[in-house]
Structure 1
Amino acid sequence: MPAPFVPELFGDFLLVQLLARRAMSDVLVAVRLGDRSGQTFVLKRPVLGERASGRAAQAIQREGEVLAEVRASALPALAAHGELAGLPYVAIEHVRGAPLDELASGAEPMPEGAVRAAALDVARALAALHAKGWVHGDLAASNVMIDETGEAKLVDLGLARRAGEARPEVAGTPGYLAPEAALPGEASATSDVYGWAVVVAECALGRRIFPEDDLASAGARGEPPRELATWEARVPGLLAALARDASRRPTSASIVQGLEALALDREALAARVAAHRARAPEDRTSLVRLPAAEARGSSEKILPPALPMPAAEPAPRPAPPPRRSSGVYLAVALGAVLLFAMGQCSARLPPRNPRGSISVAGVVPPRAHVEVDGEKVALPADGRLELRSGEHTVAVVLPKGTRREYTFRVRPNEHVVLVAPKKGATKDDEEAEVREP
């Protein structure tokens, strides 16, 4: 059984969940320290020991470069990118929803308006990339996320290249690669358009149209399914985009123009996302904050996270940090972070819990205590205290009677974590920190 994930500080981000562990990189959920909006991000970084010149590091650096230059509603928003300890990282918008491959395959074909909605969003993302001279390079249904409102975003730009840039090797997803991309050559926007058509065809038919296991098969691929002929009028440019001759394919901009005048059905897409999430319940949290508390005369302070978020097995409580002799401001931030079950998750999440819970990411001074709904409580050894669903009041009672409390609502399977704010928070900051879930 894998070890539970331990939250850690990474630059100005707090990493709270591992979404996926790939061969040479990690994909994590993060919150930004000092951000009062409660927004979560997806942060990608190479694994420890990866060289800055390695493939994973180069892909992460390239994704940050592309998203810094291309801004579009159908692409994830860039939060930050750069280097830390000599290795690149990128933090992007965390899209809450489901990957398109899990919504399109193994089910009934999507309604016509839903197919057009997904097709238009992906085409808009491509048009924005192509207008800036970029080629995505890995158009696949698994790289399209549909959010709760039925809008699609094109993700994973690590294989992106400048149009005309040499492709020294074949890369992409089997079954979506354009035939000409099965051999080394130059990056071309027409290859993206072909991948777009394969993704749209999968939505229309409810199955993979080229169920291949390797990239080399793209070069000897046959004709697309005949039943797609009925979709040409419903999704203009679909069949032309699947032409083996790249010069006959439409541009992404012309595809957008043809789809914008047609009726869309985002509610059907949103319904599929909701049904998918109902079949795979997730561990929910949301971000709220407690006001900071002043501890006059205290020689202790709550430090940044020293406790893991408990997973399948409770993690042991680490030893408390050394005492500080100078007077400090004591602050507590009550954070509950939205954790998502995605198709790339490396471990299965626990079943939905009708109760919620809290834990403390730090060390409470010996002379302080925590109260829940007016009663003093002792946190269990694993730091996680279960609460019934509903409204609760949590209070941190500090030495000499200083007390700060906050009332909030716990939802089923929601986990609330007490963490410390930045050093030097002022009284004015305390009031501004309060946020509802």
Structure 2
Amino acid sequence: MRFLSILTTKSSAYLLQKIGRGGSLPGQLGLKFDPDIFKKLTFKGPVIVVTGTNGKTSTANMIADLFERAGKKVVSNRRGDNLREGIATTLLANANLQGVVQADVVVLEVDELNVKYILPNLPVSAFVVNNFFRDQLDRAREMEQLIESIEKVLPNYDQTLILNGNDPNVVRLALKAPKANVVYFGLGRNKYSQETTNEASEGKFCPVCGNRLEYSYYQYSHIGSFHCAKCHFRTPILNVELHDIDLEDHTFYFHQEKFKDPYQGMYSMYNCAAIIAVAEVFCIGFDVVRQVFANAPQPKGRNEKFIKDGREVVLNLIKNPTGANEVMKVIEHDPADRLIVIVLNDKEQDGIDISWIYDTYFEKLMSKNTKKIVTTGTRGTDMALRLYYGGYQGVLETKETIEEALQEIGNDHDKLYVIATYTALLPSRTAIKKELGL
């Protein structure tokens, strides 16, 4: 059945490509012919899997760039098809009919809930985990259940774990992987670290004894330096520890070497630390790492800027409290006068449970610099109510569509931030470009 599985996937992927489409349908067909096809593939080099709540797409793509710039042929699901069917499409479309994947290195972004289908069935050389936060409760369930689904496939994993050592929810994975070689990355204490936090935090209790964890400092959310007063569980010694963090200049140091982060925010520094950890494991030089950072593309909706005739619009994706809070911090630190449009949808891909907006500090937007906020989307009125309960005293309006929201802003030349949930992101991009005439 391997032959039919690969042939069907390759043929359907080719036909879809011819009409300008992609997606996971070819992989769905391939898996129907052979549900065990992953176990029947052969790889010429390392297979690297990346997962986590926030940052896995950027991290996986930069890891793929890392190997490409090191002279390797890379196969990767760069478009973000990170479920089992999408991964099947990526692998089978790039395999020959004998099941050999035609690449020196394979880099796969994998949805957290799909790790259980991938890790036991592929010869994974390195498993990179960025972070775990509460996200889309109706789909992913409580975070504890999600983490347990990954822990169950770790006891026999005997290759390399590359883990965020500042996230207790990630560090606990090492307890379930006694055969693995573990490499930890993270950030040292810096001028942005805080001794207390009022952000929604998930890493509150020790996974070994259940005692409440204590923190020496927080970087953001539950990410920081932690320890349990009753047992041995604590922040491990970091193999890759970034220091001298400068969020204004987007720079950091590692081993007395200075690097420039291609993106904004503390969370992006962790993505960079993961890239350096992979480079260290696979003996790739810092010069290649710098090239990757210098040429990293701007992901759609991640602080994406549109500028025309003096008007600047910045588009950001939000999908859970922690990621949204980091976006709020970036906006809060911008001294410019601003207008804000928030597009809140509750479709299946967004997560139909929108209670997370009450764990997000939208209060960070509520300064004298914010001249007006317009809300829209399928739950635009709920977003307006959240801002009202948060104490926003400025001009607050609700519109039916993103087009109407942008028209409400009109020709005002103050900087505009558009904040959108997942299904609203591409419609927001389209509307912004149309409004600006780009």
TM bin (shorter chain): under 0.3
TM-score normalised to structure 2 length? 0.23
TM-score normalised to structure 1 length? 0.23
Q: RCO (CA 8 Å, sep 6+): is it higher in 1 or 2?
A: 1
